[in-house]
Structure 1
Amino acid sequence: MTRLHIQLLGGFRLDCDRVPVHVVPGARRLLALLALRDSPVPRPVAAALLWPDTTERRAGACLRSSLWRLVKPSTPLVVVTEDTLVLGADVEVDFRRACAFAAAPGASPEAVTMLKADLLPGWWQPWVQAERDWWRQARLRALEVLSDRFRSCGDHHHAHQAALAAVQTDPLRESAHRTLVELHLADGNPAQAVRQYQSYRARLRAELGLEPSRHIHELVRTLLR
């Protein structure tokens, strides 16, 4: 059987037996849509989502064309019925694996790598944006949990990586900045802790006109004096 893998994190890619396969734009969007859904998608729904700016008849024709132009490996890539479409059961999807990490974060470097990746960057279709918004919040929570778990295990290096990934995802998220300040202090780097705090405070003031909370300020109050 052919091993099929769809990558959605960091950009779209289809691999057949670890070899990248070229996919035309319409088929690429179709595979991405099915890879994001756990259940079969009705054909009219898929056509309307993928080709929203055309007639129902034209969208249906575009869907049929995209299905015809898909690669036909021995392992089913898409299971097609008269009414629905669903991704083949044996097709691996990196986003689904990342969602499992987000639901139950385990203290592994692989989890940090997957959780810090953006979902289909550069895609602005509404059905992608809705998933991207959910993924952003899920990964932020998971990265902070991971950082705490790494720190409790004494692995400050990966604890720092997880917290930094959360800050890069949401530069105004105070809890992530607070974790980084605490890690710098625990590592005996007070100057770096102050720089982290001041960088966050400057950005918060510039973008929202707000001040950091008392909780993070107390961590560096004596150092600022």
Structure 2
Amino acid sequence: MSVTSARPELRPSIRLLDGFALACDHVEVHVIPVARRLLALLALRDAPVSRAVVAAQLWPDTTARRAAASLRSTLWRLATPAGPLVSTTDDALALVPHVEVDFHRACRLAATVAAPDHVPEPQAVALLKADLLPGWDQTWLVAERDWWHQARLRALEALSARFRSTGDRHRAHQAALAAVQTDPLRESAHRTLVELHLADGNPAQAVRQYTSYRVRLRTELGMEPSAEIRRLVGPLLGGAR
């Protein structure tokens, strides 16, 4: 597909976090399911992908010839107000450069949030706590979803520490809570919340946070919290740990 007729002034954007959506100038555009999968795959790769690989991943249960035909049909049907969104070079497919992808923005945020000169944006917590294409079960999503799970957890904890260092304990709580909601068994996130509750002068809330984590850890994994988090609440619990 040629990109000469594309209209970047319409600002096409693809959302992958908390569900798929294609929009042009913030107006959502209907996309058939197979075209959604094609756009999502190319958006995740963020680099040209060979036609053969795309066809095999989108239609794994058919022959290479049929998969190639299905890919051609999908590309032909993928028309938008902004013009073509997919370009072809050397038998490879890629999104045209002017398509904005929220996942790319989130990845950049996750990579830079711990930098000393980074100034967190107001939507940082919401962006980092969002799931990648929830409800999709495609095998080509597994590696990206696992990577995003770990990357956003580290970024949320770093963001919480950054907010706390600037005295913004409200947003520090939000970021740490988002990390706990993303992975309820992640002790470092629970420990951060306990520390924040103690810093706020809320020892009862700190104990409730610790107790909730301890019960869940015992129930799901048969394990006990580390000595590090127990030391935080030890003086509040007396002999009970």
C-alpha displacement of 1:75:
4.9
Partners in 2 of 1:146 and 1:74 — Cα distance? 36
Structure 2, unaligned stretches of length 5 or more?
1-8, 114-118
Question: Does 68-77 or 33-42 show the bigger shift?
Answer: 68-77
Matched, 1:168 2:181: yes
C-alpha displacement of 1:109:
2.8
Question: Is 1:75–1:90's contact at 8 Å kept on the other side of the alignment?
Answer: no
Partners in 2 of 1:176 and 1:27 — Cα distance? 38
2:19 to 5, 11, 21: 11
TM-score scaled to structure 1, two decimals? 0.97
Question: Is 1:2–1:75's contact at 8 Å kept on the other side of the alignment?
Answer: no
TM-score scaled to structure 2, two decimals? 0.91
Detail structure 1 runs of 4+ shifted over 2 Å in the superposition: 72-76, 106-109
**Cα offsets for 1:138-178 (capped at 9, x unmatched):** 00000000000000000001000000010011100000000
Matched, 1:22 2:30: yes
Equivalent position SS for 1:6: strand
Question: Is 1:109–1:158's contact at 8 Å kept on the other side of the alignment?
Answer: no
Aligned letter for 1:18? H
Matched ranges for 1:34-113 at <5 A: 34-81=42-89, 83-105=91-113, 106-113=119-126
C-alpha displacement of 1:81:
3.5
Aligned length: 225
Question: Is 2:11–2:82's contact at 8 Å kept on the other side of the alignment?
Answer: no
Partners in 1 of 2:153 and 2:56 — Cα distance? 31
Equivalent position SS for 1:109: coil
C-alpha displacement of 1:72:
3.8
Structure 1, unaligned stretches of length 5 or more?
none
Matched, 1:151 2:164: yes
Partners in 2 of 1:153 and 1:113 — Cα distance? 19
Question: Does 98-107 or 71-80 show the bigger shift?
Answer: 71-80
Task: Percent identity, please.
Answer: 71
Question: Does 67-76 or 115-124 show the bigger shift?
Answer: 67-76
